Structure 1
Amino acid sequence: MFCRLFASLSLAITVITASLLSSSTARLHADEGMYLFNDLPRELLKERYDFDPSQKWADDLRLASVRFNSGGSGSFVSSNGLVLTNHHVASDTLQKVSTKERNLIRDGFLANSFDEEIKAPDLELNVLIEIVDVTQRIDEAVTNKTDAEAAAKQRQAAFNAIESESFDKTGLRSDVVTLFGGAQYHLYRYKKYTDVRLVWAPETAAAFFGGDADNFEYPRYNLDATLMRVYENDKPAVIDHFLEWSSKPVAENDLVFVSGHPGRTQRIFTVEALEYLRDHRLPFVLDYLRRKEILLQQYRLESEEAARRGRDELFGIQNARKAYTGMLAGLQDPQTIADRRRVQDRLIAAAGANPDLNPLTQAWQEIAEIQQEKAAQLSRSVSLRSDVFQYALSILLLAQEDQKPNADRLAEYTDASRDSLLTRLTSEAPLYDDLQRIELADEIALLLERRGMSDPLVVEVLAGRSPQQVAAEIIDGTSVDEFAKRRELIEGEPDLIFGSDDPAMRLARLMEPEYRRLRLIDDGLSEREKQAYAKIARVTTEIEGTTGYPDATFTLRLAFGTVKGYPENGSFVKPTTDFAGAFEHAAEHQGQEDFELPESWMRAKQEGKIDLSTQLNFVCTADIIGGNSGSPVVDRGGALVGLIFDGNIQSLTSDYLYTDQQARAVSVSGVGIRQALEAIYNAKDLADQLGK
């Protein structure tokens, strides 16, 4: 399930905000590419697959595609607002609406009427309405080309102004997106839905059948699907653009398309940047993940309720740990670096022989130096990953940034970003004191481990106390964990925040100067890296041409591929599985908890309700990464045939290297979802809404 973005953990690999050219056309693998919807590979599709997507086909698919602010993708699948996504994308919501008495993430849920649908406390869905090229305006705004810090401020001011003007004009969420290393800047306008309600979710035993053992493996037999519904004015929204639902299973060699929101790729990264990931960043992240995994495993042993409270976060951490382990293994293969070095050396040599391009070759050295500076910054962070602290720091920063002109604010605190920020800050999702206490204590302990006990900031934070004592005093004494109190602080006078004696707010005020200092350094490094990669992008384009697609930016992209099996360990892995295989897989692993299908499945099988030959999962060669979870898979006609939920183990290098030899995207079959709704969950009325 590497496709999910772990936004709540803030654990994604830190990459430059620029989106960069991927590789030359000559070096493209067969189905490589995450293409912009305003620049689809029409000639490529026509030449390779005799398919020419019409503008209507592209527009209908774009407007039916949905982005989840919790990290993931989805799609409209009915005219009355049904949204299809993964169970593991929806698990954040399932966790927040569960209680001690009603564990929806474990037991599943089905609303039999609109009145029974459960509202998500803080979920925002985005639909891409329009893309506007604002490259010229951004370029003209950056007049200081020599001072990275000044250039970054000018560029951010231009971003803020454009986004604010767009929001005021249209009322749509407006984000400026950097593409091709700063060669292009596009304004993305989104319609937002913030009234989102849970309709159906299967049991975790069905959605994550096989557990961690089967994660990133294939064959798979998972029903990793959930249905939600968007509302407007307290009524199911009327949706004009939704996907038809195919009644046919996919077949080998079928051409399919994936419309989703891949998170971040780094396919133009230099050898030195990849070595930084291999030697510094990924080991650093993995150490953190392993620490948190142990912490949460211990917490969940305390009681059945503790197990419920910590389940979703632990799942996310374990999933990330396994994904990053695979990424690191790919970079630790000497051939990966050797191949990239050959390409890099060829580019540098060709540019060096060209008088116009030769000055640009210093960009590679600049990036190498930046990696050393980034490595030195790794352990300095003061962004404690605790919900209570993050709320307090965000509220403090909001009050401070509100006192500045919009153009001078941090990106997430501008007028255009305010509604989305407030949705997060005023979430009614419950926080649990026992879990918050151990997590904050561990974050403070990690802070002193990284910075040292004699660090002045650490001395101030501890003030003669242990991390556990500090955390206990903050969690026991704060009211920032109450959404009503957070709203009161946000809507009140700034002095209520600046002078608050709430212990969480005091900690935020203590940390804020160092947070800003480090952020300024990081922004400066990012700007220098962006400018260097822009030069490399120019060299690549001049010498080898362009692929037509930029690196991923958690914005809407189109990928394509074919339904196709692959060789592994001397045998051939077939591209599809069925319900019969799921029951056989369970029988083969009898006695192992993660391979026990839920009672609803066993009962439906005993009663003969399930057509066991129905397709359940399939794989294809489409180019996907984290963020594509929940992406619809459609056929040539634009009808839904599947739902992306994972990649196999061989796909984990896709952040920096695409290959179609064995790497595959894994989907739940559309016919399998319908079969489950009708035969297992007795939800025929809901199934009848699909595609209508």
Structure 2
Amino acid sequence: MHRFLLALGLLLCLPSRAEEGMWTYDAFPSEAVKKAYGFAPTQAWLDSVRLGSVRLAGGCSASFVSPNGLVMTNHHCIRSCVEDLSSPQKDLLATGFFAPESQSELRCPKVEANQLVEMTDVTARMNTATKGLSGAPFNTALKAEMTKVETECATGPDVRCDVVTLYNGGKYHLYKYRRFQDVRLAFAPEFPMASFGGDPDNFNFPRYGFDVAFVRVWENGQPAKTPHYLPWAKQGVKEGELVFVSGHPGGTERKGSVAELEFQRDVALPYTLLYLSELRGMLREFSQGSPERLRITRSHLRSVENGLKALRGRHQALADSSLLAQKRKAEAELRAKVLAHPKLKASTAGAWDEVTQALELYRPLLPEYRLKEAGDGFQSELFTLARQLVRAADELPKPNAERLREYTEGQLPALRQQLLREAPIPQDLEVATLTFGLNRLRETLGADDSFVKAVLGRESPADLARALVTGTKLQDVKVRQSLLEGGKAAVEASQDPMIVLARKVDTEARAVRKRYEDTVEAVLKRNGERLAQARLAVYGTSGYPDATFTLRLNYGAVKGWQENGRAVAPFTTFGGAWERHTGKDPFKLPDTWLAARGKVPPETPLDMATTNDIIGGNSGSPMVNKDGHVVGLIFDGNLHSLGGRYAYVPETNRAVAVTGVGILAGLEHLYGAQRLVEELRAAQAP
């Protein structure tokens, strides 16, 4: 990481390099690609790759890889599905899963897949709705207009529409998706192989993980017809070869103000790092209690460890003085250009100061907001369901434009899926995590805080958590359905202890949410928009907008890098995986791999590193060659990529993918998934 920070200080002042950029599909720099690599994607090429790309609504990327609804993604992207389909008697995380025929594919209770079919610029409409407004009225009008636009667009439950903020509010686009909520598991390897190397290897390279999974979207009881898909390449890629990644990067702050980056460094990230560190410790201790506790905890623990490592890398990047020095320099240059232009000077008057003031207000508010509203004080799936039911009862009778955004008509299909999913909720783990959250609530706000007293009464966090979890009936989907359909009368009459708690805390949770939205979010959005419009006026739209978990395309090459004076090669092999096997977790290969030694030539490429500019959310993204054919599957980045939220360093920033050659070899020779292999090969281009 230290070498990353040194390189960062030298490179931030340089112009954008060829590989940098998370480009929207309507503004992809084809000519820049041609200049660098001799190939320019055509509009037909871009449309084909876009329509072959998929978003998993839980926070990952994917792709169609056959005309029969087959979707490729990472194991860690659908790990919760595998866990939901498991039991003490049938541990699919441990054994893996393969459906020998389509009818034996298993429905994932929580997974929604989206295909981007249309993009429309609605900037003028948003600006008209908010013209002359600031503060809370601006925020209210903006959200109301977003809801109106989305509702007009969403003509049925199979359509999802989102108004997307681009260039920090400089532009607004309406993204229309084809929505699939019947998503079924077709193949998943063993959890130890998907995450081979565990936390020590996470965000590192060389890697030897087989982080691969296949699901299928269904419609009307049949595999969906998906004529737009990405064919599998007949040959793998070589070092130096041009590759593209199409996916949904979750979020970057490369255009963020210095004040916002300092807030992340000094307040937001330290809070979250401490919270996750303590949660990781609790989960580790809990998981050691029994084999069953380990089974129900390992996925959650892995997610916490991943988040902790990623955020630690971000904090290290922001803690380096050279990064913020260059950000201050760039901001000063923008200010100077704005001040030199009378119109821009007037339109941005006070904007930077207002951002700083809003963040100062947020400093003392953040822990309260995180604990009461964002869920940190109530770490429980059952409580989340209770809160959704309580709020749905309050919100759904309101006019659509006046509801909280997550309860608008356009969001109802996703909300119903969350509330009515058939998935197990482990009781012991619920008690442990809710106890943890309640303890954090009391420790942070204090035992004498009125909210804490209202929640705990005379109970200890552990006793209250146990009483709530063992007393609630919300594990039963029929109970949840009855409350959802019964509306406000049913929810208000319910004596279910989790519903009672959700009702009790909702007034104060809503109040802190309103304070945040009115005094922080509204100010940041309005002034972010003002500064973004000024930036666009000064620099134009030749650059790319910050990532927003919307579909982006980037390009790069298969390439290693120099690390502490040694060369890191861009490929690992199956032979290297067998050599890395120690017989002890997390470097223990499953029996399928040990038994298959010799069936796959040891020099067969397994994982690879490329210069593609990715970030969290790109997990599951397809990697394609210049023909638009699949040559890999993104599943990680190296340590140097963690600072990519704030800046891209081409010398060391690397994306990590499973090779397409390796995926086919594993499916065919290790897992005997011949049905999928034949489907993928049948879909190959001539």
With normalisation by structure 1, the TM-score equals 0.93
Matches within 5 A, 1:142-541: 142-146=130-134, 148-168=135-155, 172-359=159-346, 360=348, 362-381=350-369, 382=372, 383=375, 384-524=378-518, 525-541=520-536
Instruction: Give the Cα–Cα distance (whole angstroms) in 2 for the partners of residues 121 and 145 of structure 1.
Output: 42
Aligned to 2:6: none
**Cα distance change, pair 493–645 in 1 and its aligned pair in 2 (3 A):** closer
Aligned to 1:593: 585
Moved more, 49-58 or 416-425: 49-58
Deviations 1:510-534 (A, max 9, x none): 1111111111122221121122122
Give how far 1:255 is off. Answer: 0.8
Instruction: Give the Cα–Cα distance (whole angstroms) in 1 for the partners of residues 177 and 14 of structure 2.
Output: 35
Q: 2:96 aligns with which of 85, 90, 108?
A: 108
Instruction: Give the Cα–Cα distance (whole angstroms) in 2 for the partners of residues 498 and 144 of structure 1.
Output: 40
Moved more, 113-122 or 633-642: 113-122
**Cα distance change, pair 575–69 in 1 and its aligned pair in 2 (3 A):** same
Give how far 1:144 is off. Answer: 4.3
**Cα distance change, pair 679–63 in 1 and its aligned pair in 2 (3 A):** same
Report how many residues are paired: 664
SS of residue in 1 equivalent to 2:424? coil
Moved more, 490-499 or 25-34: 25-34
**2:592 counterpart of 1:604:** no
Residue identity matched to 1:265: T
**Contact 1:70–1:92 (CA<8 Å) still a contact in 2?**
no
Residue identity matched to 2:563: E
Aligned to 2:621: 631
User: What fraction of aligned residue pairs are identical, expressed as a percent?
Assistant: 39
Deviations 1:566-622 (A, max 9, x none): 110101111111111212222xxx3542112111111111xx311222111111111
Aligned to 1:20: none
Residue identity matched to 1:559: N
**Contact 2:169–2:532 (CA<8 Å) still a contact in 1?**
no
Give how far 1:508 is off. Answer: 0.7
**Cα distance change, pair 399–225 in 1 and its aligned pair in 2 (3 A):** same
Give how far 1:191 is off. Answer: 0.9
Residue identity matched to 1:63: L
Instruction: Give the Cα–Cα distance (whole angstroms) in 1 for the partners of residues 62 and 530 of structure 2.
Output: 36
Aligned to 1:70: 58
**Contact 1:366–1:532 (CA<8 Å) still a contact in 2?**
yes
SS of residue in 2 equivalent to 1:541? helix
**Contact 1:119–1:196 (CA<8 Å) still a contact in 2?**
yes
Aligned to 1:660: 650
Give how far 1:476 is off. Answer: 1.6
Give how far 1:481 is off. Answer: 2.2
**Contact 2:170–2:536 (CA<8 Å) still a contact in 1?**
no
SS of residue in 1 equivalent to 2:266? helix
Q: 1:650 aligns with which of 622, 640, 652?
A: 640
**Contact 1:25–1:545 (CA<8 Å) still a contact in 2?**
no
**Contact 2:119–2:175 (CA<8 Å) still a contact in 1?**
yes
Aligned to 1:670: 660
Residue identity matched to 1:387: E
Instruction: Give the Cα–Cα distance (whole angstroms) in 2 for the partners of residues 182 and 545 of structure 1.
Output: 14
**Contact 2:611–2:653 (CA<8 Å) still a contact in 1?**
yes
Instruction: Give the Cα–Cα distance (whole angstroms) in 1 for the partners of residues 677 and 600 of structure 2.
Output: 15
Instruction: Give the Cα–Cα distance (whole angstroms) in 1 for the partners of residues 538 and 120 of structure 2.
Output: 28
**Contact 1:398–1:413 (CA<8 Å) still a contact in 2?**
yes
Aligned to 1:19: none
**2:119 counterpart of 1:125:** no
Deviations 1:249-280 (A, max 9, x none): 21111111111011111111122211111111
Give how far 1:46 is off. Answer: 2.6
Give how far 1:118 is off. Answer: 1.2
**Contact 1:123–1:194 (CA<8 Å) still a contact in 2?**
yes
Residue identity matched to 2:32: L
Instruction: Give the Cα–Cα distance (whole angstroms) in 2 for the partners of residues 236 and 319 of structure 1.
Output: 33
SS of residue in 2 equivalent to 1:642? strand
RMSD: 1.7
Give how far 1:365 is off. Answer: 1.7
Instruction: Give the Cα–Cα distance (whole angstroms) in 2 for the partners of residues 406 and 539 of structure 1.
Output: 33
**Contact 1:39–1:548 (CA<8 Å) still a contact in 2?**
no
**Cα distance change, pair 362–48 in 1 and its aligned pair in 2 (3 A):** farther
Deviations 1:11-58 (A, max 9, x none): xxxxxxxxxxxx999731331111111222123223322222122211
**Cα distance change, pair 144–506 in 1 and its aligned pair in 2 (3 A):** farther
Instruction: Give the Cα–Cα distance (whole angstroms) in 2 for the partners of residues 169 and 430 of structure 1.
Output: 29
Instruction: Give the Cα–Cα distance (whole angstroms) in 1 for the partners of residues 541 and 383 of structure 2.
Output: 44
Deviations 1:300-343 (A, max 9, x none): 11111110001111000011111111111111111111111111
Give how far 1:361 is off. Answer: 5.4
Instruction: Give the Cα–Cα distance (whole angstroms) in 1 for the partners of residues 542 and 390 of structure 2.
Output: 43
Deviations 1:122-153 (A, max 9, x none): 2111111111221222211224423x111111
Aligned to 2:8: none
Moved more, 538-547 or 595-604: 538-547
Residue identity matched to 2:596: A
Residue identity matched to 2:329: R
**Contact 2:113–2:179 (CA<8 Å) still a contact in 1?**
yes
Give how far 1:169 is off. Answer: 7.1
Give how far 1:209 is off. Answer: 1.4
Q: 1:89 aligns with which of 74, 77, 80?
A: 77
Deviations 1:519-564 (A, max 9, x none): 1122221121122122222332333333432111111111111111
SS of residue in 2 equivalent to 1:198? strand
Aligned to 1:559: 554
